[in-house]
Structure 1
Amino acid sequence: MEEAAKWYGELVNYWEIIDPEYYFRYAMSLRSIEEYEESNKWMKKFHELNPNDSRGKAFLAKIDYVDDIEMLSNNTIELNNLDINSQYSDFGVAEFNSGIVFASARGEGMKYMWNNQPFLDLFIAQGTADGNYQNPKPLIENVNTKLHESSAAISQDETLMFFTRNNYFDDYIGRDSQGVNRLQLYRTTVDNAGNWSVAFPVHFNSREYSVAHPTITLDGRRLYFASDIPGGYGESDIYVVDILSDGSLGIPKNLGPSINTEGQESFPFINTNGDLFFASKGFPGLGGFDVFVSKGLDNKAKEGDLSNFAVKNMGKPINSPKDDFAYYENLTTRTGFLSSNRDGGKGSDDIYTFSVPECAQIVQGTVIDRKTKELVSGATVILYDRNGEEISFMNADEDSAFTFNVDCNEEYLVRGVKDGYIGDEQRIRTSTINEANEVVLELEQDEQEVTVGTDLAPVLDIPIIYFDYDKYNIRYDASVELQKVLAVLNQYPSMEIEIRSHTDSRGKAKYNKTLSNNRAQSTMQYLIDNGIAPERLTANGFGESRLVNDCFDGENCSEAEHQLNRRSEFIIVKM
């Protein structure tokens, strides 16, 4: 990647006008050699030239992504390079018959011109008593051909396999209109004697695009895969298709923009909990492909809900500055597999194994009165994820107690609310071991009168919503605080508010006026997107005309002092 960074650097510095995509590629190549600050500079340039691209938006939303990934890392995981790895490319595991099926270029056939390695074939290796694997042998009959085979997905009963192959069937090599031989999905079955049937292509293959890297759900009812089908979001998207009762496949559906970016998303895997793991170059990561997870995605997808999936980077050591992909885990045996071309491997891609951490956590606590310390009955307790999205809620029981099951190594916000009280909240960071997280929420009786013209911030304990310099995107901390505004508006369904947004004095007054309008509109849109009727909201930007301190043009103020002026306020205009 050092060579790629060098050439992309020369390219973007030589040409004054160039496709913004090259800025993104340069930024990615810099990440792969851990030059994150320089990478961030070019990602900002990429976003300036291509402001609607979701990759740039995701970067700006988590500009401290390296620190975030460090926090998500799990030092209890130890990766072990498999003994069966070769000097060539080995990747993509599926468990089968107490062993594993994987792709490898260790064969002796003709070589692929792009990397001067033999074409990939599918191999099967036997499991050993000590948890290792041995004697890898190619799946010759009806599976492997003279072109590429890789990425097997095997059903739970081990009778059905989908896999990736070049467009090659019945001794015919298919090519697209540009003469390119694309990837396709094939299916085969195996009998009790271990004989594989002739592999047939699936019906939605096409010579004009690639379809690859399948995974089958636990119930055998859905198949996920990656493809660059025209009309998608990026270079490669993840799709799901139903496996019908007669074994035929339905119509593929794109998982949408929560999962797919303008870049590459690939190598999906669904575990037995319905969590989707996938590799992406579009979301902020350490470099190359990073592995991400979307918890419970398949549980929503099987109900037809393909919207608003939360995505989380898996952190180190699963991810590295190089390509990390083809994640696989067995939650029964707690065994996991990962493919990577990270430093220290045996070949160009290696398979690593690890023990999947077993961890269960709860958040539990009580709701009390802040002054009297007496239990408060009838309170509602809400659990939010690290992005401020509501996960669950419950009414505290007769003992004012509450309990939530939560994930390990994650951030949450717990909030308690009740009519007539000012709410309370606590942030929780769960660990990587089994434990309970104790929380005491202290509600304070609201003795202040709320009327038209009241500023919600001091009365209802809603802090000012801050923005980064020269930005109008909703920050993570802002989204958490805006949930409080939502709670108030839901509590008072006839209330209408005016959102007032302000900037600091830096920059030209006309530009700051526009920026503050954008911030007010952005704040209002967040509330609308979360269920508040538009007619209950108005938004106005005041630019730098209403500073809360003496940080006027030319004054020597600190960043913290300037940030006090970059704010949104919420004024009641109707009760």
Structure 2
Amino acid sequence: MMKRYPLPVFALVLALLSGCAGIRMQRADQAYGLLQFPKAARNYERVLDHKEDRAARARSADAYRRNNIMDKAYTNYAVLESTHALRGDTAMAFGEVLMALGQHERAGEMFLRVLEETPENKRAMDLYGSTQGYSSFYADSGRFFVNRLTLPGIATAFAATPYGKGILVAGEKDMRDANGNPWNERPFLDLYYSEKRSIVMWNEAEPLPGLVNGAYHEGPATLSADGKALYFTRSNYLKHKLVKDDRNTSHLKLFRAIRDEDGHWGDLHEFAYNSDVWSTGHAALSADGHTLFFASDRPGGFGGTDIWRCRNNGSGWSEPENLGSTVNSAGNELFPTINGNALHFSSTAHSNMGGLDIFEVHEQNGIWTEPKNLNAPINTPHDDFHFVLDSTGKAGFLSSNREGFDQVFVFIMNEPEFYLQGIVMDESQRFLSNSEVVLHDLTSGEDHSRLTDEAGKFAFKLGANSDFNIRGAHQDKLATSVALSTKGLMRSDTLSVELSLKTIKIGEAITINNIYYDYDEWAIRPDAVIELDKLARLFLDNPTTSFELGSHTDARGGDLYNLVLSDARANSAVNYLIQRGVDPARITAKGYGESALVNTCSNGVHCSEEDHQANRRTEFKVTGVEGMADVRSKP
């Protein structure tokens, strides 16, 4: 027989279960409020094991997201989305998780949903735009080789900065030594030094000697040019206890340390603009030591964390100056670094692949250029940050959690190689051997020459990021040239060119197409400039040759009028060519009016507009070559 329990017993059991769930929720909320996200997530999961709770599900998703556990964050957000369409900040967060997991289309749907609610949300707008053109981030993915560094002695590392014969990094000890940073239950960060054994293998990372490393976090650092001053980020604590604001948040501060003769760091000084109620960190010092860039969520910014700078005025640092809305956004801008005349930083906004992406800007006359995303493989859908070039300018370090945890990666620019293969022919497509081909590098000013082989072929190696002019010449032929460029080309390639040389026939007219004039006018039209520029190039390629430029009209209108009009047009074209550098002693203008028609459309003959157009033409003739008689042709 089934055993029967009194109703009060069931009520007691239910009350106990409800009480346990309530306690778990209280513990989870308390941990979440204290930014103890792993502990919070565990307690929310216990709540969810017993019953579905939308608040617990949302906070569990957020706790996993903040600790970069994107698969579990996705699972929780997906459950929320399945029961009720996400909106606002939750939709934005789910979109970011989807971006990190490579689900760009679904991420775009989330950002679009946010924009429907708040059309002015610039960050959602930027990220939605990124999802619509995502393939462009991979267009030049062969530009760099990227490999993870192995740094023995520390479990994770980031923010590598060249120092001495090695690098400084912010890192965590081996995970077995975890001492409980409540945010992620991992060790606190310290500054370490390591020297290179090979391109990706480094010596055991050793803690930086001196007073820099303390009880809590020490993070990204920047060095003065002489290596004697170190500006580094540190947790705000006093007497081994974190200083927190009224929201129970401990903020970051900037400190300066000085290196003594023994290589130990001490004499610590706080940055003048630190605060107990906002964070200041991630310093980047200019080579001359006059400008200090840093990240801060101080008042007066554009979103979360912005990039700021101070200038050394001789007696200290000037008031912080925000870099403005071109650089900063409604998201977070972090990890500024200075590389030559470029400022690099990371952002969760702008045109972004997901997470933090690395961007580059330049200051021109006090105005910052639009941020340029460095694209793949420097950036990924994960967090990518702290981009530093080494002394060669062709390699360096970046940090990323693309493999799960923060790690330092070395990158090397993949300098592409370019070659030019060409052939020289005459107007009958016959190969011209022993033709001289000159490659002029417009970037360096250097010239290189070759003679074509029996098949009329030639070849050159081209430099990267350069403009070139290739000129081909052969006896009794008009020399010609073409322009080409390797600027903007990121992948190795072989370019091809054909040089077609016309045989010099003194006095033979050659029609120039597409040179038109307005009715009853002789001014050079914009559409004629293209053809005249080609003609100028031809004349400049043949400095020992003299030319005549002739202009013709159709038969409509008076004979004398047409002669005057054609002469004005010919002179207008010649004057343009002279402005382009053609020697005026080598070119003459001649107006033929209607005296050299190419068909039967003379006075009084009815013809189509197409037939009349054939008579309205511009021609040039070779009138002489040095060493030959200067023959002025006749109509």
Tell me if both proteins adopt one fold, taking TM over 0.5 as the criterion: yes
Asked if residue 45 in structure 1 is aligned to residue 113 in structure 2, the reply is yes
- Matched with 1:35 is 103
Alignment deviations for residues 197-224 of structure 1 (CA, whole Å, 9 cap, x no partner):
2322101111111111111122222111
Residues in 1 aligned to 2:343 and 2:333: alpha-carbon distance in whole angstroms: 12
Q: Deviation digits for residues 248-279 of structure 1, max 9, x if unmatched?
A: 221111111212111111111110x2212212
Residue 11 of structure 1, CA deviation: 3.7
The letter for the 1-side match of 2:76 is W
How far is 1:147 from its partner? 0.7
Q: Which amino acid aligns with 2:302?
A: Y
What's the counterpart of residue 144 of structure 1? 213
Equivalent AA in structure 1 for residue 324 of structure 2: G
Structure with greater Cα Rg = 2
Separation (CA, whole Å) in 1 of partners of 2:351 and 2:271: 33
Cα distance, 1:286 vs structure 2 = 2.5
Does the CA-based 8 Å contact 2:209-2:263 persist in structure 1? Answer: no
Deviation digits for residues 80-114 of structure 1 (CA, Å, limit 9, x no counterpart):
3324374x331111111111111111064732012
Aligned to 2:378: 318
8 Å Cα contact 1:256/1:306 also seen in 2: no
Distance 1:360 1:171 in 2: 56
Distance 1:445 1:111, change over 3 A: farther
Provide the C-alpha distance between the structure 2 equivalents of 1:173 and 1:435, rounded to a whole number of angstroms. 61
Residue from 349, 355, 359 that aligns with 2:406? 349
Q: How far apart, CA to CA, are the structure 1 residues paired with 2:149 and 2:412?
A: 13
Q: Assess if the C-alpha contact under 8 Å between 2:149 and 2:200 holds in 1.
A: no
**Cα offset, 1:36, TM superposition:** 0.8
Q: Any conservation in 1 of the 2:209–2:265 contact (CA below 8 Å)?
A: no
1:329/1:356 contact within 8 Å kept: no
Distance in 1 of aligned mates of 2:443 and 2:93: 42
Find the counterpart in structure 2 of residue 477 from structure 1. none
Cα distance in 2, alignment partners of residues 29 and 185 from structure 1: 31
1:529 equivalent in structure 2: none
- Structure 2: how far apart are the matches of 1:244 and 1:427? 44
Residue 127 of structure 1 pairs with residue 188 of structure 2: no
Q: Secondary structure at the match of 1:430?
A: coil
2:379 is the alignment partner of 1:289: no
- Kept in 1: contact 2:223–2:231 (CA 8 A): yes
2:502 is aligned to none
Return the offset for 1:35. Answer: 0.8
Distance in 2, matches of 1:8 and 1:62, equals 21
1:102 counterpart = 2:172: no
Contact 1:164–1:212, Cα closer than 8 Å, also in 2: yes
Confirm or deny: 8 A CA contact 1:322 1:341 kept in the other structure: yes
Q: Which amino acid letter does the alignment assign opposite residue 305 of structure 2?
A: S
Residues 99, 350 of structure 1: alpha-carbon distance in 2 compared, 3 angstrom cutoff: same
CA contact (8 A) 1:184 1:211 kept: yes
Q: Check the 8 A contact 1:85/1:351 in 2, yes or no.
A: no
Counterpart of 1:181 in structure 2 is 250
1:332 to 392, 397, 401: 392
Secondary structure in structure 2 of the residue aligned to 1:38:
helix
Q: 2:148 touches 2:407 (CA, 8 Å); kept in 1?
A: no
TM-score, length-scaled by structure 2: 0.54
8 Å Cα contact 1:162-1:187 kept in structure 2:
yes
Q: 337, 340, 345: which is aligned to 1:269?
A: 337
Q: Match of 1:30, SS?
A: helix
1:26 aligns with 2:94: yes
Equivalent position to 1:68, from 136, 145, 168: 136
Matched pairs, number: 390
Give, as a single letter, the amino acid of the residue that structure 2 aligns with 1:104: G
Q: Distance in 2 between matches of 1:236 and 1:113?
A: 22
**What displacement does 1:431 show?**
2.3
Question: Which residue identity does 2:136 align to in structure 1?
Answer: D
Aligned equivalents of 2:370, 2:515: Cα separation in 1: 35
1:502-560 Cα shifts (integer Å, max 9, x gaps): xxxxxxxxxxxxxxxxxxxxxxxxxxxxxxxxxxxxxxxxxxxxxxxxxxxxxxxxxxx
User: What SS is found at the alignment partner of 2:310?
Assistant: strand
**Greater helix share, structure number:** 2
**Closer, same or farther: CA 56–158 of 1 in aligned 2, 3 Å:** same
Q: Secondary structure at the match of 1:233?
A: coil
Q: CA deviation at 1:232?
A: 0.9
How does 1:49-448 map onto structure 2 within 5 Å? 49-59=117-127, 61=129, 64-84=132-152, 86=154, 88-106=155-173, 108=177, 110-128=179-197, 132-169=201-238, 171=240, 173-246=242-315, 248-271=316-339, 273-294=340-361, 296-297=362-363, 300=364, 305-307=366-368, 309-332=369-392, 334-343=394-403, 348-357=405-414, 429-432=488-491, 447-448=517-518
Equivalent-residue separation in structure 1 for 2:131 and 2:200 (angstroms): 41
The alignment yields a C-alpha RMSD, in angstroms, of 4.0
Distance in 2 (CA, whole Å) between partners of 1:208 and 1:97 is 35
Measure the CA separation in 2 of the matches of 1:409 and 1:288. 32
The 3-state SS of whatever aligns with 1:39 is helix
1:218 alignment partner, SS class: coil
Describe the SS at the equivalent of 1:327: strand
SS, match of residue 370 in structure 2: coil
Aligned to 2:411, the other structure's residue is in SS state strand
CA distance in 2, matches of 1:409, 1:71: 18
> How many angstroms does 1:432 deviate by?
4.5
How far residue 333 of structure 1 moved from its aligned partner, in angstroms, is 6.3
| Aligned-partner Cα distance in 1 for 2:145–2:413 | 7
Cα distance 1:43–1:333, how it changes in 2: closer, same or farther (>3 A)?
A: closer
Return structure 1 stretches of 4+ with deviation > 6 angstroms.
Answer: 434-438, 457-461
* C-alpha contact (below 8 Å) 1:73/1:314 kept by paired residues: no
Whether 2:71 is the aligned partner of 1:2: answer yes
Per-residue CA deviation, residues 288-315 of structure 1 (Å, 9 max, x unaligned), is 2122222x33xx3xx6x244x2212212
Following the alignment from structure 1 to structure 2, what is the Cα–Cα distance between the partners of residues 64 and 70?
A: 13
User: Over residues 467-513 of structure 1, what are the superposed CA-to-partner deviations in whole Å (9 max), with x where a residue is unaligned?
Assistant: xxxxxxxxxxxxxxxxxxxxxxxxxxxxxxxxxxxxxxxxxxxxxxx
- Structure 1 unaligned residues grouped into runs of 5+: 362-400, 413-425, 450-456, 462-575
TM-fit CA distance, 1:163: 0.7
Label 1:359 to 1:209 Cα distance change in 2 as closer, same or farther (>3 A): farther
TM-score (norm 1): 0.60
Percent sequence identity is: 26
Residues 1:460 and 1:312: Cα distance change in structure 2 (over 3 Å): same
